[in-house]
Amino acid sequence: MVSFILGLAVTAALFYISALYKSASLLMFGYAGAGLLILAALFLSYRMHTIQCGIAVPISIAECGKPLTVQILLDNHSVLPCLKFRCLMEQKSHFLNRKDREWMQGGLAASGKNRFDYSFLTNNYGSYHVQMKKVRVYDLTGLFYFQKKVGCGVSVQVLPKMQEIGVHISEASRNFFGEADVYDEFRPGDDHSELFQMREFRPGHKIQRIHWKLSAKQEELLVKEDSMPKACPVALFLDYKNVRRRRAENVNAYLVILAAISFSLMDAGCPHYAVWYSSRREDIVRVRVDDEESLFLFLSSYLEETFQKQTRDLVSAYQDKYKGEHYLFAFQLDECLRLRKNGEIIRSFHLENWKKELEALEIIA
């Protein structure tokens, strides 16, 4: 609309000056400008209704430090081409709470689908929301345009690298018993709610454990073995509190450290809960991690978070919410890159040397 305002101002000035000096040539220029404005407005009103916008991404996971390409989709439903258009692209990093905007320019073919590639560098880990905010469609002269808001977008995640660290699982963690919805596939237990397997009756088995109906069908005595719940002996608390501005170097180090701890615990066969305060839900959130799928779910969910405005201690809030559920070890990583175990600091990472410190880290769970 700014271009039309300037056009109207120039046209009005031409009419005023032509009347002031009684110039027929300036008057003709004024009429020509007014006609051009009317034709441009009619043309652009039609063009705005015949163009549909969209955005897509081939792969929703990107690699840090490399260009990320998204596809801008513009469908032209008219027989007239659009020689010039501009769209405002925005990349928002949730975890860093940072926005970057850039205008992209191109042209549309007549009556067809048009696809353009838009690339930008992902220098930081986190979840990015790439959005087309506005579209400007120009007339054939390229002087006047109409603008409309679009708002379509896609989400892309840049996951931190999975670095392996030394993890030693204690016997207490291996034999930890507690409530869980997941059961051990190799060891029986004492949970009567889930059947582990049926075995032949042998001396020493309790008579109460005999499955009489199945024994009658098989014509031999069979006993039931209960399952063992795979409880989580470890809770990993992600305590990145609210700060005014998150430094990219600090956030990258923090995300790689937490991913390394969770991945190494999972790889060592130690199921654990990843716990954090969700600003979106305004509540404590936990995700059980015991395989690659659950690890990806945890990281994807956590990277969507923004500033965490909790005032209570994260460990205390977790214990209040999940009363009666116990764990053996609580690992806590905060925004200062301090790693605590059961409240005691076991390692403080420094930004200038955190990679080497992470490689030398060994934890006992």
- What local confidence, expressed as pLDDT, does residue 330 receive? 93
DSSP string for 282-327: TEEEEEEESSHHHHHHHHHHHHT-------S-HHHHHHHHTTT---
User: Under DSSP, is residue 176 helix (H, G, I), strand (E, B) or coil?
Assistant: coil
The separation between CA 95 and the C-alpha centre of its own chain, rounded to angstroms, equals: 9
> Each residue of 44-72: b (16+ CB within 10 Å) or e?
beebeebbebbbebeeeebebeeebebeb
Q: Do residues 136 and 118 make contact, with C-beta atoms less than 8 angstroms apart?
A: no
Residues 33, 251: Cα–Cα separation, whole Å:
55
Per-residue pLDDT of the chain (365 residues; tens, 9 = 90+): 677 778 788 788 877 788 887 788 878 878 888 888 888 888 888 877 888 888 888 878 888 878 888 888 888 887 777 778 888 888 888 777 788 888 888 877 667 788 888 888 888 888 888 888 888 888 878 788 888 888 888 888 888 888 899 999 988 888 777 654 543 444 444 444 444 445 555 565 555 555 545 555 555 665 555 444 567 889 999 988 765 567 888 888 999 999 999 999 999 988 899 999 887 778 888 899 988 888 998 998 888 876 666 667 888 888 888 887 788 899 999 888 999 999 899 999 998 899 999 999 999 88
pTM value is: 0.74
Residues 164, 167: Cα–Cα separation, whole Å:
9
- What local confidence, expressed as pLDDT, does residue 245 receive? 61
